[in-house]
Amino acid sequence: MKKIVGTLSYVGSFYKGFERQKGEMTIQGKLEEVLSILMDKEIRIKAAGRTDAGVNALGQVFAFVSDRNLDLESFRSHANRLLPPSIGITSLKEAPMSFDPRHSAKKKRYVYRFYFGEKDPFKNDTYAHLREDNFDKEVFFKALELFKGEHDFSNFTSKPSDKDNFIRNIDTLDILYAEDTKQGGILLESNGFMTYQIRFMVGEAISTARGKHTLEELKEMLIGKPRKIVSAKAPAEGLTLLEVIY
């Protein structure tokens, strides 16, 4: 038996999220369907995490067990021909049987891409389009900076409970923005992100930039007690999983 580990890229707007769901089109469902055809047996994968409906990936990691000796490059090529254009396997390699895509991960790196100005259909699936009217960009960037470091993010996830008491450390939070193109990205890296955490963070930063609350009020949301989950969720299409770090 061999553990095969792959890196996967996909555009999430065509799917109901990553995780297999009965009767729904999902990334995991399509990938397992193709792998099962090629292996001539039912294949189930494990992944580094589950992205929401509409969220993209450049570096999702998955693994499955093979009882055959595979020419991995040929296998990858055949799989990509069977997969839809919105999903691609970018690499395959053997790994120790003890490797677990989720539990072996040390950090994850995401980017949230956004743009202002006229709607651009070519950015629909990988950027969030934000309205520029009544939007203070300086406040937006200041609001995002508040999330850097270690905080209680219990108000920024829908996860009902957490063994680490919702404490997460965002090691990297870099903001890139070009006024001439009116587009930018927020690079985030952490040892773990919880359900909807990034989208809630960006959503509340957007709300702050629109004057719906102040920077001080946003700071209060990071205290976490008593728990009151925020409601502003940024659009899914802006979020991309860039890399899983082991």
Task: List residues with catalytic annotation.
Answer: 52
How far is the C-alpha of 36 from the C-alpha of 40, rounded, in Å? Answer: 6
Burial 37-72 (b: 16+ CB within 10 A, else e): eeeeeebebbbbbbbbbbbbbbbbbbbbebeeeeeb
Q: Are 8 and 64 in contact (CB under 8 A)?
A: no
SS3 214: coil
Q: Are 109 and 245 in contact (CB under 8 A)?
A: yes
- CA separation, residue 62 to residues 5, 169, 244 (Å): 6, 24, 10
- CA separation, residue 18 to residues 63, 71, 124, 183, 188 (Å): 14, 26, 19, 27, 20
SS3 46: strand
Q: Are 44 and 36 in contact (CB under 8 A)?
A: no
Residue holding tokens 């070009």?
A: 178
Residue holding tokens 């890229």?
A: 9
Q: Are 175 and 144 in contact (CB under 8 A)?
A: yes
